[in-house]
């Protein structure tokens, strides 16, 4: 039955790609039903888990033998446990909504059939990734979602920027997968299998020691950093905004980019082997969260703000799962997965809202050319505002609860500085999101005169409303980290392996939890107020100029994205091309082939000097060769004997 979950969208993809020209306007309906079907089957799988006692909530097994040779053996194994069930419901649930939205968004694109085929293919691959019970199967899904990401980013491939962005995404991910592959070799060598259940059981029984304990998780982390756009491999995600907006919502916000977080959580037993590994996860997470937020603050492209925001929020999730690994306790992981879920709701909502805005203003993405769109787009603006408040951590919307859980987990497990930095990121998030909302929906209209903004069709706005509802009430999933529903559901997954539970809930300065929560909410509200002062309040422009006077240097750095792309270009891309040119046109053409041709010429010249070039001497050549050969053979036989 589990095979059905990826198989239905896969069948949809194959059907749509073969009959892409004939399906016409039914493409979206077919694709949506396919992923809807998967959602339905996922619900059945979930209920099956629900009927079991908490300790034995796992079903699935081998589907067929995939690759086996010599001592190596990998089965195509699918498994569902509570963690996978959560991922399944997010991927198929949010996925179905985004498929439906795309019916409206892509209505006038003549390559709809192809688009929906790719979308279904993505869903199938992502479902293989989360269902995989074997590392190699996970890697299959992992690479295939990367392929679909490439196909969909460069969907409008006549635009060179789109094609380049797709290629960049694939190659940067491959660099991450280089680490992933080496990790697989190490796992296979160490545990003698790639089956997850066995690997985790063995790692739990006899913990790894030395550099191996650190190497495996860190190499896996390189793969995660590629897929989930973390430092140093985050640079592909902002460019990925070249793809159609529903793609950005589905792949580059709600599902695929969370695969790295999922993998850390899934392989938590391996990450718990070494404190260094956990520390690096936390460090990379918080650094990415800060850097991306600092860039998001000054971007003018409506989708780029959201892209950097996604990078930043993924950093938040890494902080959470890294804290789990570092402290070997379950609740931080739960906080990370909880944020993954709420983020899927509100970030999908924000991206789709941005798509609706772009739809309204003739595919304009520059927020400087928007403003005051609230009146023309009542549903879009209202739902976007809910998404904005949710991501900003305003209670009682979902983002408040999930962020608060991550911060609480960090504090409880002895990471006060991470807590402080996390609160700063929360403030920055509230600031840039408010800036975006004010620039887009409020204030004076700066829309070009010939553009007449209009609300999107119901097929799109209904989806926005559904996601807004989820983003608003998603916090109900886990009202408190220690006693919430999701915590109870997920805890058994993370209690295997080496495990230490935090003795008691600790808070900053020993203050009551409510006070701490209120403080975090206040930071967000203050950031919103600051954004209001700078972008909406009377005299905002003057305040901005004044601020630019004192912070000009930082603003320019932020606008230029801290020159990271330029740095990579001059460090890797450019020298790489030089090396390749030297290798191809220097070493290969001149030296190696030059030696070959030179030898041929020398023989020719010698022959000329010896006047052996007249016709008829080919036979003499051959004779000489054969005699030579015979002599060598004779020598050989005599000597070697």
Positions touching other proteins (CB under 8 A) are 64-72, 114, 136, 139-140, 143-144, 147, 150, 154, 157-158, 160, 162-164, 166-167, 170-171, 174-175, 177-178, 181-182, 184-186, 188-189, 576-577, 579-581, 583-585, 588, 592-593, 596, 600, 625, 629-630, 632-633, 636-637, 640-641
Look at residues 80, 84, 6 and name the one whose alpha carbon lies nearest to residue 38: 6
- Work out the angle at residue 197's Cα, subtended by the Cα atoms of residues 195 and 203, and round it to the nearest 5 degrees: 95
- Between residues 42 and 154, which has the closer beta carbon with respect to other proteins? 154
Secondary structure string (H, E, C) spanning 341-400: HHHHHHHHHHHHHHHHHHHHCCCCCEHHHCCCCCCCCHHHHHHHHHHHHHHCCCCCCHHH
Least distance in angstroms from the C-beta of 74 to other proteins: 9
Least distance in angstroms from the C-beta of 191 to other proteins: 13
Least distance in angstroms from the C-beta of 25 to other proteins: 19
- Between residues 414 and 575, which has the closer beta carbon with respect to other proteins? 575
Least distance in angstroms from the C-beta of 247 to other proteins: 16
- Between residues 65 and 501, which has the closer beta carbon with respect to other proteins? 65
Least distance in angstroms from the C-beta of 84 to other proteins: 20
Assign residue 331 a region (left: φ > 0; alpha: ψ between -120 and 50; beta: otherwise): alpha
CA dist 59 and 62 (Å) reads 11
Residue entry with tokens 């190490």? 186
- Between residues 73 and 533, which has the closer beta carbon with respect to other proteins? 73
Per the DSSP assignment, residues forming a β-bridge with 64 are 76
Q: What is the DSSP string of 63-100?
A: EEEEEEETTEEEEEEEEE-HHHHHHHHHHHHHHHHHHH
Residue 605 to residues 193, 569, 593, 611, 626, Cα–Cα distance (Å): 61, 47, 18, 10, 22
- Between residues 161 and 209, which has the closer beta carbon with respect to other proteins? 161
CA dist 115 and 13 (Å) reads 10
DSSP single-letter state for residue 134: B
CA dist 331 and 318 (Å) reads 14
Residue 109 CB contacts under 8 Å (≥ 6 apart), including other chains: 115, 244
Residue entry with tokens 């339905």? 40
- Between residues 154 and 323, which has the closer beta carbon with respect to other proteins? 154
Least distance in angstroms from the C-beta of 122 to other proteins: 14
What value does the CA radius of gyration of the chain take, rounded to a whole number of Å? Answer: 29
Least distance in angstroms from the C-beta of 580 to other proteins: 4
CA dist 193 and 134 (Å) reads 9
- Between residues 188 and 312, which has the closer beta carbon with respect to other proteins? 188
- Between residues 167 and 462, which has the closer beta carbon with respect to other proteins? 167
- Work out the angle at residue 430's Cα, subtended by the Cα atoms of residues 428 and 435, and round it to the nearest 5 degrees: 95
- Between residues 150 and 234, which has the closer beta carbon with respect to other proteins? 150
Spacing of C-alpha 13 from chain mean position: 22
- Between residues 181 and 275, which has the closer beta carbon with respect to other proteins? 181
DSSP single-letter state for residue 588: I
Count how many residues are written for the chain: 641
CB 393 within 8 A of CB 426: yes
- Between residues 579 and 612, which has the closer beta carbon with respect to other proteins? 579
- Between residues 500 and 596, which has the closer beta carbon with respect to other proteins? 596
- Between residues 151 and 373, which has the closer beta carbon with respect to other proteins? 151
Least distance in angstroms from the C-beta of 144 to other proteins: 6
Least distance in angstroms from the C-beta of 346 to other proteins: 32
CA dist 634 and 200 (Å) reads 62
Least distance in angstroms from the C-beta of 562 to other proteins: 25
Least distance in angstroms from the C-beta of 26 to other proteins: 20
Look at residues 501, 500, 496, 497 and name the one whose alpha carbon lies nearest to residue 57: 496
Phi (first) and psi of residue 60, to 5 degrees: 125, -175
> Which secondary-structure segment (H or E) carries 327?
helix 302-327
By DSSP bridging, strand 72-80 and strand 59-69 are: antiparallel
């Amino acid at each position: 039955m589990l095979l059905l979950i990826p198989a239905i969208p896969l069948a949809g993809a194959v059907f749509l790609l073969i009959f892409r020209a004939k399906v016409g306007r039914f493409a979206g309906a077919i694709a949506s039903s396919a992923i809807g079907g998967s959602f339905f089957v996922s619900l059945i799988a979930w209920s099956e888990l629900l009927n079991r006692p908490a300790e034995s909530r796992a079903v699935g097994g081998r589907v067929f033998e995939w690759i086996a040779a010599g001592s190596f053996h990998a089965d195509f194994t699918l498994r569902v446990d509570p963690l996978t069930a959560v991922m399944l419901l997010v991927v198929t649930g949010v996925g179905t909504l985004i498929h439906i939205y795309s019916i409206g968004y892509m209505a006038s694109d003549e390559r709809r059939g192809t688009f929906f085929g790719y979308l279904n293919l993505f869903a199938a691959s992502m479902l293989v990734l989360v269902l995989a019970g074997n590392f190699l199967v996970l890697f299959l899904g992992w690479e295939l979602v990367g392929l679909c990401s490439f196909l969909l980013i460069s969907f409008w491939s006549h635009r060179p920027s789109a094609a380049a962005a797709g290629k960049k995404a694939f190659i940067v991910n491959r660099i991450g997968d280089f680490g992933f592959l080496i990790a697989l070799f190490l796992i296979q060598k160490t545990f003698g299998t790639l089956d997850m259940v066995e690997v985790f059981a063995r790692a739990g029984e006899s913990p790894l020691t030395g550099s191996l304990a650190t190497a495996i998780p860190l190499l896996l982390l390189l793969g995660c950093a590629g897929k989930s756009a973390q430092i140093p491999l985050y640079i592909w995600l902002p460019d990925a905004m070249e793809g159609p907006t529903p793609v950005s919502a589905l792949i580059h916000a709600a599902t695929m980019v969370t695969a790295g977080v999922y993998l850390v959580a899934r392989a938590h037993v391996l990450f718990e082997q070494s404190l260094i590994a956990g520390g690096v996860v936390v460090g990379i997470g918080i650094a990415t969260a800060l850097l991306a937020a600092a860039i998001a603050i000054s971007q003018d492209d409506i989708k780029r703000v959201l892209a950097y925001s996604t990078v930043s929020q993924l950093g938040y999730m890494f902080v959470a799962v890294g804290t789990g690994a570092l402290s070997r306790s379950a609740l931080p992981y739960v906080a990370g997965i909880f944020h993954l879920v709420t983020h899927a709701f509100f970030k999908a909502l924000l991206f789709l809202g941005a798509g609706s805005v772009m739809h309204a203003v003739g595919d304009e993405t520059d927020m400087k050319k928007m403003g005051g769109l609230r009146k023309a787009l009542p549903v879009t603006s209202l739902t976007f505002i809910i998404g904005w408040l949710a991501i900003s951590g305003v209670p009682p919307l979902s983002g408040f609860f999930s962020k608060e859980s991550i911060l609480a987990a960090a504090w409880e497990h002895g990471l006060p500085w991470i807590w402080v930095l996390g609160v700063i990121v929360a403030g920055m998030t509230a600031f840039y999101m408010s800036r975006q909302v004010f620039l887009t929906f409020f204030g004076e209209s700066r829309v070009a005169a010939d553009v007449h903004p209009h609300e999107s069709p119901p097929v799109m706005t209904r989806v926005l409303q559904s996601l807004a509802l989820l983003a608003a009430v998603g916090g109900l999933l886990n009202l408190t980290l220690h006693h919430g529903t999701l915590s109870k559901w997920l805890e058994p997954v993370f209690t295997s392996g080496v495990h230490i539970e935090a003795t008691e809930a600790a808070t900053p300065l020993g203050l009551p939890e409510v006070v701490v929560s209120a403080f975090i909410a206040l930071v967000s509200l203050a950031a919103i107020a600051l954004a209001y002062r700078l972008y909406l309040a009377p005299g905002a422009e003057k305040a901005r100029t004044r601020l630019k006077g004192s912070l000009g240097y930082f603003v320019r750095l932020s606008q230029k994205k801290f020159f990271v792309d330029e740095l990579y270009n001059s460090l890797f891309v450019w020298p790489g091309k030089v090396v390749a040119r030297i290798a191809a046109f220097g070493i290969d053409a001149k030296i190696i082939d030059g030696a070959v041709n030179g030898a041929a010429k020398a023989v020719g010249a010698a022959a000329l000097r010896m006047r052996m070039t007249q016709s008829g001497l080919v036979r003499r050549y051959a004779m000489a060769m054969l005699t030579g050969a015979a002599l060598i053979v004779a020598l050989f036989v005599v000597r070697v004997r």
